[in-house]
Each structure stands twice: as C-alpha cells, then as structure tokens.
Structure 1
Amino acid sequence: MNWKERIILILLAALNFTHILDFMILMPLGNYLMPYFDLSPKQFSILVSAYTISAAVSGFGAAFFVDRYDRKKVLLYAYMGFLIGTIACGLAPTFITLFIARTVAGLFGGLIGAQVLSIVADSFPYERRGAAMGAIMSAFALASTFGVPFALYLANLISWHAPFLLVGILGIVLIPLLIRYLPNMTGHIQPEGAERHSKWSVITNVFADRRQYTALLFSGLIMFGHFSIIPFINPFMEFNVGFSKNITPLIYLVGGVAAFFASNILGRLSDIHGKVFIFMICTFSALPMVFVITNLPPLEAYIPVLILFGLWFSVATGRGVTSSAMITSVVNPEHRGSFQSFNSSLQQLGSGLAALVAGFIVTKDPESGKLIHYNWVGYMSIVTLLFCVYLGYTNFRHLEKDKLAIAKP
C-alpha cells in the first residue's frame, strides 16, 4: 500500500470516526435522555430512528444522481450538512428540537457512508479490499474505544449536549484536511458524448440483477439483526443488570479495543481465506453472545460482562468488514455510487426499523424502572442473522470464487 492510499484511508477513517460516533452516541445516552425528557422506550426508539430513517430517505434519493458527480464533492457537501445538524443536536433545548436536529443530521449523514465505501471500492481492487475495508471499519472500533467513553464522560461532567458538540468540533477541524488531501474521484463519470442512461436505470439495473437486489436485502437485514439490541444496551445494563453510569462506558471501551484489532486482523484473514468463510464464522459466533447479553440477570461482577462484550464487538465488526467487502463486489464501478446509496439507504432503514420494532417490544416496569421483554428482541436478532447467513452463502460464494480466480496470475 503506497502513501497516497494510506492518506486516503486515514482521512476516510477519521471522517468515519466522527460520523459513526454521532450515530452511536445517541443510543448509550438513553439512560440520560429517558429520565431527562421523561421518555418511554417507544419514544426513545422514535428519537433513535429519526436519524436512520431520514438517512434512508436521502440515501435512496441520492442514488438517482450521485454517480454523475465527483465523489469527493458529494462527500464534502454531505459532511458539512451533517455537521450542521449534529451541532444543532448539541444546542437543542427540547425533545422536539432534538428530534428535528437528528432528522437533519440524518438527511446529510445518509449520503456519507455510501461515498466512503464507493471511494474505497474504486481505489482498491477486490483482492486488497478486505484489508482496506478493515482499516475503514476500524473507525467504528475507535469510536467505541475512545469516542463513546469520552463522550459519556463529558455527558457526566457537563450534560448530554456535550457529545454532539464534540463531534461538531472534530468535524470542523477535519474539513480542511479532506479538501487538501483527498483526491478528486471522477473515474466513474461517463465522458461527454457518451450515451446517458435514464435516471430510472439505477433501479432497473438493480432489479435486473438478482445478485444486486439480494445483496441489498442481505445488507438491510444484517443491520436490522445487529441494531435490534443496540439501542437498549446501556439502559438495560443500568436499570436491569445494576451497573452504574461509571461502569457502562467500559463496555464500549473494552468492546472498541477488541473491535479495533478484530477489524484489521479479520479483514486481512478474509483476503486470504475468503470473505464468505470469515463472515459465517463471525455470525455463528455472535449468536450465543446475543442470547446471553439480552438475558443477563442482575450482577455485581462486571469483568465477565466486559469480556463478553469484547468478544461480541469483535465478531460483529468482522461480520461488518466481510459483508461490506462482499456487497461491493456485485456492481461495476460506473454504477457503484448509486448502488452504494441504495445500500446505505437499506442499512439505515434496517437499523431504524430495528430501533422502532425494539421500542414497541421493550416496555418499562413503572415500579422498578426495569426494561421488560428485551430478551424477545434478542431472539428476533438471532433469527434475522441466521437468515443472513443463508443469503450470504447463496449469493456470494460463487461470485467470490470468480473474483479470486481472476485475481490470480
């Protein structure tokens, strides 16, 4: 990997860090926001889904035009709009204004993930894409390791507004570096005089190819299965398991450290042994952990729980790295931006629906304050991820063999 490729990955990983931290931080703030605004689990899930569903809408709309423009410019405009929405979250005085600000952040944030993945896919061939995706996905681990615990520390020290302002400040510092060092990405744009396809062709291209629409379903369901349990982890750990607000940030610290190493190691292993193989190992390993996490009884000892979350973060990250690399392989570069916008839209929709469904399943005991039926959400997650294993194996195993055969000299 040359120095230009390293700079691209470092910048995109830094951008991804702020983007993912903003997306992640609302969920562990549940045990701050629910008492602050006197929210029910259903109301909190609606707040969480405001970002993801608006991101799904904008990602779907972007698919119709995004491949006609420089990916760098699209990324920068989307990132600046996202930062405006995030800073507005940090200044929001009421539940309604916070809901509106999250919606605005989601409208722009829905464009970011697709552009990041498209730039990586355009810059790295399939045989090296697992390692590149691992580097980008390590931003998730860093957000969990350093971002979320520090953001929760600021929430304890100042208020829940502080984490959003932190993300906004970091993003403002990053923008000049992106402008200066990220290269223009125009190789996918059709030259002047080339035949222009109808704007509706982005949909017809997807539904004309079974691999593409199955990959989108696969992507959305992975997010649904994963994010079903995410929004209520922190409230469950405090209200049900009995951990204090000083302990729950350690879940993200330990999990993030584990995920940081796992994203890079499993990304490289997927390049050697195959993305589908590593994906299946990670997914099957995660299922019993989901069962245990969502059925934890009240505990005093937290070290075993931290180990459990470290293992779960690791395999969940490996699943994300491998599935992202697999999904990018089903489409040609000239259509990749539009496809990734659809993909991002389905991912956001999957995670938003997961939060909404979980919010309708989970209830709060009015006397004890404990969450009820969280284990049901865990069962739903397990069934969904098992179906994802089936989709992943049937849709990508032959494609991966073809790609690896072409890559060999």
Structure 2
Amino acid sequence: MTTTTASLPASQERALLITLAAVQFANVLDFMIMMPLGAKIMGVFAITPREFSWLVAAYGTAAAISGFAGGFVLDRFDRRNALLVLFSGFTLATFACAIAPTYLALLFARLAAGAFGGVAGSVVTAMVGDVIPPERRGRAMSTVMSAFPLASIAGVPLSIILANAWEWHAPFYLLTVLSLIVLFIAARTLPHVPSQRGDHTGWRQMRAILVHPVHQRGFWLGGLLMFAGAAIVPFMAPSLIKNVGISESQLPFIYLVGGTASFFAMPWLGRMSDRYDKLHVLMVVTLPACLAVLVLTHLGPTPLPLVLPLSAFFFVGMASRFPPAMAMITNSVEARYRGGFMSVISAIQQAAAGLANVASGLLVTADADGRLIGFNRAGFMSVTAFAFTVWMAWRLRVIAPYAARNPHEREVATASPPSGGPAANTTYRTPDDAP
C-alpha cells in the first residue's frame, strides 16, 4: 500500500505509531542495557573502565557517523523499505553482541548496532512527519517518544535481573528476539512512503539540507535539546549512590518510578503540543525541568521515599521538552528533505550528547570517599543549555512560524525553501503544503 501525508485511517495510524514506538524502544533499550552490565563485562573480558567506556561510546559514535552519511542518500528510498533494511541490520548487530566471544568482537558489534540503529531512529521520526498531519504531529511524537521512558522502566531493572540470572549475554538475546518480533510486525503494518526527492545528486541534496537557515536553526535546536540532558544523565546513578546514599539494590526503583511517571505524562504533553503554540509549551515545561535539575544536582543524603518523587519530577522534566521541540523541528522541513534532514540531526544529537558527556567529565570529580564533587556545576551547565534551547526554538519560530503554531491557525509564512523552489523572500505555505 502506498500512502501520502494524512492518508491513513485512524486504526492504521495508531498501528503505525505503535510499531514505530516499538522500533524506537528496541533501539533505545539496546543502548541503555549496556550501562548496568559494566561490572560483569569488565570482569569477563578483563578490561579496564576506560576500555568499557569505549563500548558505551561506540554506539553513539557510529550512530553520528552513519547519521551524517545517511543525509546523502536516505531520501532516495521508500521510508518503509529503508526502515526494514536498517532495522534488520540492527537486529543482526544485536545478535552479534549476544554471541561476541571477545572484547574486540563486542566492540565491533556495538559499532554496527549504532550505525544501523542511529539511522533507523531518524527514519522513524521522518515517517511521523511524512504520514501524520501537522494537527496531530505533537501527539504522534509523544507516542513514539514514549519508547524512552518505557526503556527506562524495562531496560535497567530487566537487564540487571537477566544478567544476574544468566550472565551478561541474556539481555542481548532477549532484545534479539524482541527485535525479530518487531521486524515481523513492521513488515506487515508499515505503509509505503515513496521518496519525494527529485533528481538531485547526493552532494546537491546534502548542500540543500545544510545551508538553509531554517534547517540550521533546527540543527541547533536538536543539538541543544540533547546536550542539556546528556550533561546530567551519565552521572545521575553514581550521584544517587555516592552523594544521596541510595543503595545499588534500590537504584532500579528510581528508574522504574521515573520512567513510569514520564510514560503517563507524555500523551498529555503531546496533546498540549497540538493544541497550543509549541514554543509556548516548550517554555512552560522548561522552567520546572530546570528546577528539577538544580534540586537533583545539589541533593545530599536523602531517604528513598523523598528521592523517588524528586527523581520522577526529574525524569518528567527531561522528557517533557522533547514532544514540542521535536514537533517543531519536524514541521520546519519539506517532506522531500525530511529523511536526510532527520538523519543529519540525529548525527548532530549524538555528537552533542558526546560533547556534553566530555564537558561534564571535566567538571565532575570524585573525592577520597567516592563522593562526586562538581555535579552541581554540571547542573548549572545543563540549565544554561535549557535556556539556549528555548532561545533557539524562538529563533526557529521567527523564521518558520508554521513550525510552532497550532495547525488550525496555519497561515502563509515568509521563507525560502531549501532549493528548487521560489526565490528568497517569496511567500509559501508550510513545508507540508509547499510544492
């Protein structure tokens, strides 16, 4: 079946979004399950913490490189076919992780998983923009992004349980089986979304994606959005254990409660993003998110009953920014550039996350007792990135008002399409209406 934007019946639209969320869930879970396996993997392969950090970094590095490369070619292909091929490669790479006999084999398997998974994630976002009309796009984004809190709920606790019962291979075997099931469902439910690209060469396509000011502001917005969270998240668990006094056995409850709260908050945030100006929604949710970061990064010894609601507030605050911001980004680009654009922005977000990790690592140190010193400075850096995220969203709205407005208030906006369209300063409608 071939479809164009907004052509799916409600039942098929729901099936599409659930399937895309399942793809994202497998992708995010593959990344998250590495975190609690560090001690076991270091023991099995007799590697240092630094060598284990390469296993963690391999995924993001490969995803960033492949995401940029995907910008050259992704819009050549039907979205469904591209996603099925990429997710098949991701599934095979996950299986390779499960059976890896050596450290190097596991490292290369992680690189392959990141290369396929990173681009697959960008195709998922592009399909939401291609198939879901603007008036429901915020809610659709929140449905797909519910994969992140679900991975927090299932990823960390389940990985610990399985690894304790059947060694470190078990979580990857489970994820391989899950990915095969999702792949089968995707092959049956995903609609064909044909390429809307003209006869542009890869280099011309990439240039059109990179040079347009609307796209450039979208890149900055996506990068800042990821930087703000990545500056805090890697040190959250060590801080809760060393600074706050939470035991390792209690840590899964933090992720379970926080992920559950985020999961139930996401649909409401999606509805708000569709009902109101997306910039205004982003501004409203950013203030409590900043407060959550500041409280958590300054937290001293605290009993678990108080930490649980604070951490839930933190998880919700982090997650709440993504539906309005990503809906703005997706709305700002024409369909013929959307696949390559989202692939490039995925690469930028992976690079921003890595940069945030490095910057936080320079600010945070440990004293003789293992307590984290300087985590509050990382919190201030994160809050600064929050503020710049809102500022860049405002700048994107100035040049592309249609990206943020309630679709019922759509109007002609002054802008210049990336290439092949009207000249600069010519009026044209939103990217979904533009020729």
Provide the TM-score with structure 2 as the length reference. 0.85
Counterparts of residues 10-21 of structure 1 (less than 5 Å)? 10-21=18-29
Match of 1:22 among 9, 26, 30: 30
Match of 1:166 among 157, 174, 179: 174
Summarize the Cα distance change of 1:26–1:395 in structure 2 as closer, same or farther, 3 Å threshold. Answer: same
Q: Deviations over 1:71-90 (max 9, x none)?
A: 11111111121122223333
Match of 1:90 among 76, 98, 123: 98
Summarize the Cα distance change of 1:376–1:286 in structure 2 as closer, same or farther, 3 Å threshold. Answer: same
Letter in 2 for 1:351: A
Q: Report the CA distance between 1:25 and its aligned residue.
A: 2.4
1:145 aligns with 2:150: no
Counterparts of residues 57-72 of structure 1 (less than 5 Å)? 57-72=65-80
Summarize the Cα distance change of 1:202–1:107 in structure 2 as closer, same or farther, 3 Å threshold. Answer: same
CA distance in 1, matches of 2:323, 2:35: 22
- Name the SS for the 1:64 alignment partner: helix
Q: Report the CA distance between 1:30 and its aligned residue.
A: 4.9
Letter in 2 for 1:88: A
Summarize the Cα distance change of 1:407–1:265 in structure 2 as closer, same or farther, 3 Å threshold. Answer: farther
Identity %, equivalent residues: 40
1:291 aligns with 2:294: yes
Counterpart residue number, 2:196: 189
**2:135 touches 2:406 (CA, 8 Å); kept in 1?**
no
Counterpart residue number, 2:337: 335
Counterpart residue number, 2:139: 131
Counterpart residue number, 2:382: 381
Counterparts of residues 204-283 of structure 1 (less than 5 Å)? 204-283=207-286
Q: Report the CA distance between 1:251 and its aligned residue.
A: 1.2
Q: Report the CA distance between 1:137 and its aligned residue.
A: 1.1
**1:30 touches 1:235 (CA, 8 Å); kept in 2?**
no
Q: Report the CA distance between 1:156 and its aligned residue.
A: 3.3
Q: Report the CA distance between 1:136 and its aligned residue.
A: 0.8
CA distance in 1, matches of 2:109, 2:40: 18
Provide the TM-score with structure 1 as the length reference. 0.90
Letter in 1 for 2:56: V
- Number of residue equivalences: 400
CA-atom RMSD, angstroms? 2.4
**1:30 touches 1:232 (CA, 8 Å); kept in 2?**
no
Moved more, 27-36 or 129-138: 27-36
Q: Report the CA distance between 1:34 and its aligned residue.
A: 6.6
Counterpart residue number, 1:358: 360
Counterpart residue number, 2:316: 314
Q: Report the CA distance between 1:360 and its aligned residue.
A: 4.3
CA distance in 2, matches of 1:225, 1:82: 27
Unaligned runs of 5+ in 1: none
**1:50 touches 1:102 (CA, 8 Å); kept in 2?**
yes
**2:278 touches 2:324 (CA, 8 Å); kept in 1?**
yes
Letter in 2 for 1:374: F
Counterpart residue number, 1:304: 306
Match of 1:406 among 403, 407, 410: 410
- Name the SS for the 2:146 alignment partner: helix
1:346 aligns with 2:353: no
CA distance in 1, matches of 2:409, 2:76: 32
**Larger RCO, structure (CA 8 Å, separation 6 or more):** 1
Summarize the Cα distance change of 1:138–1:101 in structure 2 as closer, same or farther, 3 Å threshold. Answer: same
**2:276 touches 2:405 (CA, 8 Å); kept in 1?**
no
Moved more, 388-397 or 353-362: 353-362
**1:228 touches 1:358 (CA, 8 Å); kept in 2?**
yes
Moved more, 89-98 or 153-162: 89-98
- Name the SS for the 1:327 alignment partner: helix
